[in-house]
């Protein structure tokens, strides 16, 4: 796990080594163990690298790394879990190795198999390869999107990095807010790929590769989609499915234990993290290191009791930390720095502190539970949204459009003053013949934005429509829940959930691995009949059945709580004055984008305690702090 960056110059200038070093060292937190730099003979290509040493800790495994004749160079962020298997295949073909690293395996795999070598790899990665003979750069983001790859092409220079802040160190890069992405951020909590909140800085989508030739011709293409791997046959045998899930999950956990440094698990006491602990314990001859976080002033929000029961059952070496609103407030400057672009999920705060706890206790690699709820339909709101979408399909879509228009106007008149904008937006989607389900983290709906924004920005439905259209093109299975899950995998999961893990863990120099998102398990999960994922109104039904006997029923069948910060309490209490001051006094108001009266309504109206209003407030606070930090160079005290 590392930080990578690079510059390719297409103008008359050469790559400036000092600038490349500044870009590299802006990501020292991603790689405190070593650094490296490469500039080719023509001075037109440069790579920078910061190393967090995980596999082959020797200096010989440092990057940038080249092949034997120095015609191919690589910088790579991530881990390849099956690199020993691929290495064995390559050595049989005659390749000679100088290191024990997975990086060298990627190099030789490219030499042997060309740009499609990526299908040989199982791992999480962002990879950049410069082929000196072909004068081409090839870059990849892993199948599911666990690792980021940002890039820009400005003023005759192509510049890339693991983090936007690294790109911004180059003086050729202009810093400008992306208003199209701002509208998307308000809805989805982060801009969907390929856009970012910075104009002209892009992010490579999950499962895509980038090709840039010596003439500066840039091509982005998809090399992987989970639907491309399916055979359109849904599996319905529960016993067989349970066995297959556990077999795949056991292998995934085992693969993610490959490491030359200490590793552990983030333990919440829920199904996913507890299963990670149980399966890891089966494979270890020492106690698993586990890490949990709670909140000082809200013990009812904590899951310590369940985490401690799991820790005691599996005899782990357990660690805990408590934080409060003051800790969160003090962390805000670091939060906006490490996020790069606003990422309005308050889970970032506890994620940072539990990652810091792991690092302080000598644990460099952790396994986390992300992805399970998306694969196996574990969210209660998935059941609710499924019912709403079915009602729309079998009732409202069959009504005359005039009736739905009338229904929308009536509900808007009755509910608008009460702040029921989320409910009104559902009716608007029906009226406009849009898909009902937009994702699991929809914040400012179009109804909200009509009140908040003083300028017309883009409609966020364009992204949703694109993903549904892609599903319908690739799959003949007309299954609502399956479409919901596909939507999560194409937007919220890679760009919000996995990015919060990457950014907050790497901020503390910790590598986070995600067993539930091994692509083989993901592909299998898409072949499971949705009627077995949600059964008799039980979400995550088949996974719960699969882990019976592995973890206690008390853990499996307890009410889902979710890993979250008590932002609904903090924003109305300890952080209220800070929040109110910031939302009204941020320099972002110079852009004349936001309606202050609606902001006042959000935080002071009688209905300001609504859950969606609290989330709206955090969304804006995160955005305003980001703007002031990156464009004004400060935060309000």
Helix (H) or strand (E) holding 357: helix 348-360
Q: Helix %, strand %, coil % for the chain, to 5?
A: 50, 15, 35
DSSP summary character for residue 94: T
- Which residue in this structure is represented by tokens 């202050």? 596
- Sheet containing 123-131: order of strands: 65-66, 72-80, 123-131, 136-141, 208-213, 218-222
The number of helix segments (H) and strand segments (E) in the chain equals 27, 17
Could you tell me the end-to-end alpha-carbon distance of the chain, in angstroms, rounded to an integer?
A: 35
CB burial of residue 615 (10 Å; 0-12, 13-18, 19+):
buried
Pairing outcome for strands 65-66 and 72-80: antiparallel
Burial letters 213-248, b for 16+ CB under 10 A, else e: eeeeeeeeeeebbbbeebeeebeeebeebbebbbeb
Helix (H) or strand (E) holding 519: helix 519-525
CB 346 within 8 A of CB 329: no
* Catalytic residue, candidates 2, 5, 66, 433: 2
CB 624 within 8 A of CB 588: yes
State yes or no: is 5 an active-site residue: no
Q: Which residues partner with 153 through β-bridges?
A: 158
CB 301 within 8 A of CB 274: no
Q: Which residues partner with 5 through β-bridges?
A: 48, 161
DSSP for 22-62, written as a single string: HHHHTTGGG-BSEEEEEE-TTS-EEEEEEE---S--SGGG-
**What is the rounded CA–CA span in Å between residue 417 and residue 50?**
53
3-state secondary structure of 405: helix
Helix (H) or strand (E) holding 338: helix 325-339
The tally of CA atoms less than 13 A away on the side-chain side of residue 189 is 27
CB 554 within 8 A of CB 309: yes
Structure tokens at 72: 């191919």
Angle at 81 between CA 75 and CA 87, to 5 degrees: 75
**What is the rounded CA–CA span in Å between residue 12 and residue 248?**
52
3-state secondary structure of 212: strand
Structure tokens at 362: 């000598």
3-state secondary structure of 66: strand
Question: Which residue spans within 434-486 are E strands per DSSP?
Answer: none
- Which residue in this structure is represented by tokens 């929040």? 579
Structure tokens at 186: 């308000």
Q: How many residues does the chain have?
A: 637
> What are the φ and ψ backbone dihedral angles of 587, each rounded to 5 degrees?
-70, -10
CB 212 within 8 A of CB 134: no
| Active centre residues (catalytic) | 2
């Amino acid at each position: 796990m590392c930080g990578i960056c690079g510059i390719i110059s297409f103008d008359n200038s050469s790559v400036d080594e000092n600038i490349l070093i500044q870009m590299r060292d802006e990501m020292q937190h991603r790689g405190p163990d070593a650094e490296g730099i490469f500039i080719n003979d023509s001075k037109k290509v440069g790579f920078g690298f910061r190393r967090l040493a995980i596999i082959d800790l020797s200096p010989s495994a440092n990057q940038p790394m080249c092949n034997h004749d120095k015609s191919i160079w690589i910088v790579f962020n991530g881990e390849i879990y099956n690199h020993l298997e691929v290495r064995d295949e390559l050595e049989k073909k005659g390749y000679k190795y100088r290191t024990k690293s997975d990086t060298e395996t990627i190099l030789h795999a490219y030499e042997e198999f060309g740009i499609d070598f990526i299908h040989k790899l199982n791992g999480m990665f962002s990879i950049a390869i410069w082929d000196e003979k072909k004068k081409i750069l090839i870059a990849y983001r892993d199948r599911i999107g666990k690792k980021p790859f940002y890039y820009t092409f400005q003023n005759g220079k192509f510049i890339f990095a693991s983090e936007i802040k690294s790109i911004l160190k180059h003086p050729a890069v202009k810093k400008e807010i992306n208003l199209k992405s701002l509208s998307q951020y308000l809805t989805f909590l982060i801009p969907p790929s390929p856009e970012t909140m910075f104009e002209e800085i892009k992010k490579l989508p999950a499962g895509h590769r980038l090709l840039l030739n010596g003439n500066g011709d840039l091509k982005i293409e998809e090399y992987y989609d989970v639907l491309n791997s399916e055979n359109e046959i849904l599996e319905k045998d529960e016993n067989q499915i349970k066995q297959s899930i556990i077999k795949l999950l056991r292998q995934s956990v085992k693969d993610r234990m490959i490491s030359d440094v200490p590793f552990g698990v983030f333990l919440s006491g829920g199904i996913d993290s507890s299963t990670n602990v149980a399966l890891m314990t089966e494979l270890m001859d020492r106690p698993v290191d586990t890490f949990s976080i709670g909140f000082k002033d809200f013990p009812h929000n904590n899951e310590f009791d369940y985490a401690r029961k799991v820790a005691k059952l599996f005899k782990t070496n357990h660690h805990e930390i408590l934080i409060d609103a003051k800790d969160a407030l003090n962390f805000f400057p670091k939060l906006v720095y490490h996020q790069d672009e606003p990422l309005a999920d308050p889970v970032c705060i506890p994620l940072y502190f539990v990652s810091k706890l792991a690092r302080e206790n000598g644990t460099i690699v952790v396994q986390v539970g992300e992805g399970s709820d998306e694969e196996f339909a574990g969210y209660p709101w998935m059941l609710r949204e499924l019912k709403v979408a079915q009602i729309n399909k079998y009732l409202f879509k069959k009504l005359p459009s005039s009736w739905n228009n009338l229904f929308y106007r009536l509900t808007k008149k009755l509910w608008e003053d009460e702040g029921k904008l989320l409910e009104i937006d559902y009716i608007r989607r029906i009226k406009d013949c849009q898909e009902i389900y937009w994702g699991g983290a929809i914040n400012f709906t179009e109804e909200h934005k009509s009140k908040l924004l003083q300028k017309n920005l883009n409609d966020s439905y364009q992204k949703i429509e694109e993903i549904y259209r892609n599903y319908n093109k690739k799959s003949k299975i007309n299954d609502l829940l399956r479409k919901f899950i596909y939507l999560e995998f194409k937007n919220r999961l890679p760009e919000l959930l996995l990015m919060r893990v990457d950014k907050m863990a790497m901020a503390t120099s910790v590598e986070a691995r995600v067993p539930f998102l091994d692509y083989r398990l993901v592909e299998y999960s898409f072949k499971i009949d949705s009627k077995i994922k949600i059964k008799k109104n039980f979400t995550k039904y088949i996974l719960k059945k699969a882990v019976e006997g592995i973890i206690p029923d008390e853990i499996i069948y307890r009410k889902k709580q979710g890993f979250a910060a008590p932002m609904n309490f903090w924003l109305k209490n300890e952080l209220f004055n800070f929040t109110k001051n910031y939302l009204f006094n941020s320099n972002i108001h110079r852009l004349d984008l936001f309606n202050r009266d609606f902001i006042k309504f959000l935080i002071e109206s009688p209905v300001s305690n609504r859950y969606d209003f609290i989330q709206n407030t955090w969304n804006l606070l995160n955005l305003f702090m980001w703007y002031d930090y990156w464009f004004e160079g400060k935060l309000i005290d």
